[in-house]
Structure 1
Amino acid sequence: MDMKAAIKEIKRGQVSPLYLCYGSEKYQIQEFIQLIQDQIVDPENRDFAVAHYDLADTQIETVVEEAETLPFLVERKLVLVRDSSLFSAAKESGKIEHKVDRLLAYLDNPAEHSVVVFTVNGEKLDERKKTVKAMKAKGQVLSFMPLGGNELIQWVIKQASSRNCTMDETAAGALLASAGVQMAALSAEVNKLCLYAGAGGTITTEAINQLVARTTEQNVFGMVEDIANLKLERALSTFYELLKQREEPIKIAALIARQFRIMLQVKELGGQSYSQQQIASQLGLHPYAVKIAGEQARKFEVSRLRRSLSELAELDFRMKSGRIDKVLGLEMFLLGLGA
């Protein structure tokens, strides 16, 4: 079962006694846990109906005992368990010894009065482990991975709609360009923008440019985008603004090199018929970042990307060895790109 189907079941009141949530998208995992909590525990009973454990410092036997103990004043209780080794390939710290057989016995016959949610911060589970096989047989194993480019834009639009505001795809794209792709940060920015727009208001690109502060990484990303679109004056303006913010030219050059490296890798992998998701997995990037890098890469030849990376490596050496003024060196590189 996938995450969306599991959410539909929970909203219908069909809550499984066992869940194993894994993936890199922590915000979605927390939203999912909040949904279960809202469904099975009344707000006034949460102090004694919700238990938190971390298997890095708690034995699994303690968790099983908690799950088997009858709840107090409520029909069901929620047991949240953070794990780093029982379900994944990560090595155990050695400080805590877990009796896995005790967990396996519980997974085979889970208590109806408890909902146990295990969370694993990792993109993969260790499919060889008995614990993973048992969870797949008796519970719900759900993956929470980053949304694709279009999915993330639609998610942002839906977040605005849930706060009684409207936002089109252009504005959503502008928000991603300014705030990045982390869902927790995006949710906070949408909340701020909705407060600014007011109930029933519209979030515009102008409001986003006015209210959402760009990180250095996002500014460099925008510089490369402007260069790709032959908007050299705007790219230089961003560069000078970064200097006013006391950003180190060597750091700016390194971030530019990173973006050019990503564009080259995306272009080469795309030429080998890799999908957007496969490229994202291969490079360890968010799918939306891969989508945008692919669009930028189409405006450069492979030879030009390679040459730019070589020039940036030489520039890095000359700046660090004092053979060229750092600001002047980066200015000359950007002018050369524009040419």
Structure 2
Amino acid sequence: MANAVWKKIAAGQIDPVYLLTGLEQHIFDTTVNRLKKAMPDLDEASLIRFDLEETPVEAVIEEADTLPFLQERKLIIAGNANFLKAQDKSREKVTHNLAMLETWLANPSPTAVVVFMAPYEKLDARKRITKIMKEQATVIEAERLQGKDLIAWIQQEASSIGTYISAEDAQLLVDIAGDQLLTLATEINKMGTYLNGEGEITASVIESLVPRTPEMDVFRLTDAYVAGRVPDTISIYHDLLRNGEEPIMLTSLIASQIRLMIHVGTLRKKGYHQQQIAKTLGVHPYRVKLMMENRQIPQAERLLVILDKLAEIDYKLKSTGGKRERVLELFFMEPLRK
């Protein structure tokens, strides 16, 4: 996991070769920044970047084997290592000498730190070079974090700027701001600045400083509605209106949430587990987790009725004038039978 590798980097235990793979760009950026911080004598001339879609890997090896000028080590970022994934060779812009790379990986340069970046969902595990790279390099899988891993990451981010956040309040931060690491890191830094780099990030601090994303508020809105909590539903709805959200857009987002509930329920009945459902539907596992834990979600038949009503509301909103806000509000006030 990234946290374990980052701790070693912070302690000065820097390996010669890293492989970063996955879709969470913030983990890529954070890893590079932590390496730069752990190499204080690094200057701009000793930070070299390559795009392996445009440059053969031999150029990376040659640079790594060239002694740095007045520096102990250089840092080389080799982006888009597409030779690690399945691809159409006819579309390749460059040809990589992978045999040369295999030989070099067995004995990498002691005066360079090379970071291979493979920003892809999966690598081709059948390839010899993929197997060798995973054996020889320190691997960080930049996957989207969820559950306890996400909470632990938030707590470590808070600790890195001199503050503390409890697991409960870290979960509140996710509920409000979403699960994108870049967004979370930005909000944590903002709250750290507010606290002057010390003290605790509490629920009151989060609620005062962190804006809720429309998507997360719609998630809360839909959850309150299907649970039959009319006052909460109306309160959240009015907050969204005050924030400038339009009833037509909200109707569409609510319908999307209802469809997701139906799909999650259907796949769950088929025996799919949380990760399988998330991958099949292309949504974050955290959203699936919340839905699977919610026992107040109505049966699929009732959810389909709700979808039909939302379609009628969408038509009304697009074809009539007047106070559109009232149309959706009346829908929320209708009794929901489960």
The question of a shared fold, defined as TM-score above 0.5 by the shorter chain, is answered with yes
TM range (shorter): 0.7 to 0.9
Structure 2 match to 1:68: 65
Provide the rounded CA distance (Å) in 2 between the counterparts of 1:158 and 1:10. 14
What does 1:297-308 correspond to in 2, within 5 Å?
298-308=296-306
Q: Is the 8 A contact 1:148 1:277 kept in 2?
A: no
Which residue does the alignment assign to 2:15? 16
Give the distance between the partners of 2:297 and 2:54, measured in 1 at CA.
52
**Local SS of the residue matching 2:19:** strand
The aligned amino acid for 2:68 is P
Distance 1:52 1:278 in 2: 36
Answer yes or no: is 1:278 the counterpart of 2:276: yes
Bigger Cα displacement from structure 2, 181-190 vs 278-287? 278-287
- Deviation string, structure 1 residues 231-285 (Cα, Å, up to 9, x no partner): 3223223323333443232221111112122222223333334332332222222
Which of 50, 53, 67 is the aligned partner of 2:50? 53
Deviation at 1:230, TM superposition (A): 3.2
Which moved further from structure 2: 6-15 or 73-82?
6-15
Q: Tell me if structure 1 keeps the 8 A contact 2:54–2:94.
A: no
Write the letter of the residue equivalent to 1:33: V
**Letter of the 2:36 counterpart:** Q
Unaligned runs of 5+ in 1: none
Structure 1 residue 312: Cα displacement: 2.5
Q: Could you say what the CA RMSD is over the residues aligned between the two structures, in angstroms?
A: 3.0
For the 8 Å contact 1:59–1:96, the answer to whether it is kept is no
Deviates more, 1:309-318 or 1:287-296: 309-318
TM (norm. structure 2) is 0.85
Query: CA separation in 2, counterparts of 1:334 and 1:33?
Result: 48
In structure 2, runs of 5+ residues without a counterpart are: none
Give 1:290's match in structure 2, choosing from 288, 299, 308.
288
Distance 1:337 1:221, change over 3 A: farther
DSSP-derived class of the 1:86 partner: helix
**1:94 Cα offset (Å):** 4.2
Residues 50, 77 of structure 1: 8 Å contact kept: yes
Alignment of 1:49-128 (within 5 A): 49-83=46-80, 85-89=82-86, 94=91, 96-101=93-98, 102-128=100-126
Identity level (%): 35
Q: Which amino acid aligns with 1:26?
A: Q
Matched-pair contact (CA < 8 Å) for 2:218–2:254:
yes
Report SS of the residue matched to 2:84: coil
- Contact 1:79/1:116 (<8 A) preserved: yes
Tell whether the 8 Å contact from 1:7 to 1:32 is kept in structure 2 after alignment: yes
Q: Output the CA distance in 1 between the equivalents of 2:214 and 2:55.
A: 40
After superposition, the C-alpha distances for 1:20-56 in whole angstroms (9 at most, x for unaligned) are 21112222222223333333x22x4321221112223
**What is the total number of aligned residue pairs between the two structures?**
336
